[in-house]
Structure 1
Amino acid sequence: MSTPASRPTALITGATAGLGASYAAHLAAAGHDLVIVARDRNRLEETAERLRERHGVQVEVLAADLAHRADLAAVAARLGDEARPVDLLVNNAGYGLKQSLAVGEIELLEQHFDVLARAVLVLSNAAAKAMVDRRRGRILNVGSIAGLLAGGGHYAALKGYVLALTESLAKDLRGTGVSATVVMPGYVHTEFHARAGMKGASGPSHAWLKPDDVVTASLRDTFAGHLVSVPSVQYRVLAAVLGVLPRSVVRTAWRFSSRKAPSNARTTSAVTSSSALTTQG
């Protein structure tokens, strides 16, 4: 077994549930020390203890709500700590939101933006600065196939930002020894829907991916230096189709396939089916 001094370190946000927990388990099994980030300190401690016992790695706990600027700054500072370098950042934290862009509560929409978009920007920037100085490192941003859906709601808009951000980041990192990857899964079996107050899984069974399969594919692509990782054949085909169709066609198709908003939308916010294309813990 490698010694602590020789093991790489990965920092994972949203690490106690869903894809985040799977990333933590896979990376620990592969010999990475971890910094795990989530809001619930008790759950973090339980996760850390389980990973230490099972894999014999060091696990640091960092409780933070990424919607709070002070907490986000603390995570960014950890990424920039020269004495404790982070070799891999996994920007995974996220959640679904039952809010309409037109009539939803702006405070909730802003918090959603802060966690799914602003936090990815701030932490990617902090990691990239430290990694470029060392001439090595990798950044993995968890996006979604929903980011390709024109008119797919707030979640889709934020995931579209994550895709564009990662593409631009990868361009800026070219030749530095640091890589940036975005993974774009579709439906994934996690506790995402229950935590968001959504009803049971929709869509055909073959459309649903296992978290471990998504994590395995995305880590393989990350360490290979690929920019975009789309796990599974069906979603690679869908991504290719969405990439060539006019956005007006995608909007029209999405409008007919999405759930209708409730009539009392000012008090009960609509949930489009793009919210189900969720991936994070």
Structure 2
Amino acid sequence: MMIKNVSIIGAGTMGNGIAHVFAQHHFNVTLVDIDGEQLQKGLSIISKNLDRQIAKALISQEQKTKILENIKTKTNLSDGVETAHLVVEAASENETLKLKIFQQLDAAAPQDCILASNTSSISITKLAAATQRPEQVIGMHFMNPVPVMQLVEIINGYATSSYVTGSIVELSKQIGKTPAIASDYPGFVANRILMPMINEAIYSLQEGVADVTSIDTIMKLGMGHPMGPLQLADFIGLDVCLSILQVLQKGFGSPKYAPCTLLANMVAAGQLGVKSGEGFYVYTPGSKDLVVSSKFRK
């Protein structure tokens, strides 16, 4: 089956980024979200990101127009996937929600359609079990920001067919990404390694080993990381970090994945990072200055 029609479920940060990339590579994209306002916001973000590409001479104004023409929007899931060859689910990192969406996708999408999830930690095998086509379910874990980051972590579920895996590997290359295959274990590879590091950085802050600036500076300059772990946690979303750590802890049954109390408290207080305007740092629209949150200033 040639994949030409791609439906993206969820118009948030990851969803609109995935839609952007597929549309830029000449696929017919349907962006689906039950919230019409979120759909318009997603399209606006895609347009602004395309403007950045124009400013860098990566695309022309004419190409931007064609890319946007490749994207249509739907608020009804069934309508949004009725002609899809591939669906990429990019809803919130919530297992109950994703299981419900996969049940709906299985009922609404064409029989030969591949169902993929952009989940960063939830079991592909479990999502596949919610369908009658487990061999056609796979993980496509894109990295944020999607138009910029090269990696797609491809996760095989227990029943994923080799044909589907091969198709998604080739498709990832078609959209300019580098595929890397992982098996379906908690956190896969990316977050199984990344999240304990972020968690340990938060423990180091909680225990007074170093302050926010020192922790991030040490990891940037000493380890060659482009962004410190605390800033990265803010960028990912502290609620997402907490959720992934909880999946790891439950999946492996090991206390080494237990989320730091400070992280749990920040999430409970609504201090989620970039998305809420404050996490370990304060984020002011239009400002590029990195300002440590007043809660962590000495």
- What TM-score do you get using the length of structure 2 for normalisation? 0.45
Asked which structure has the greater CA Rg, the reply is 2
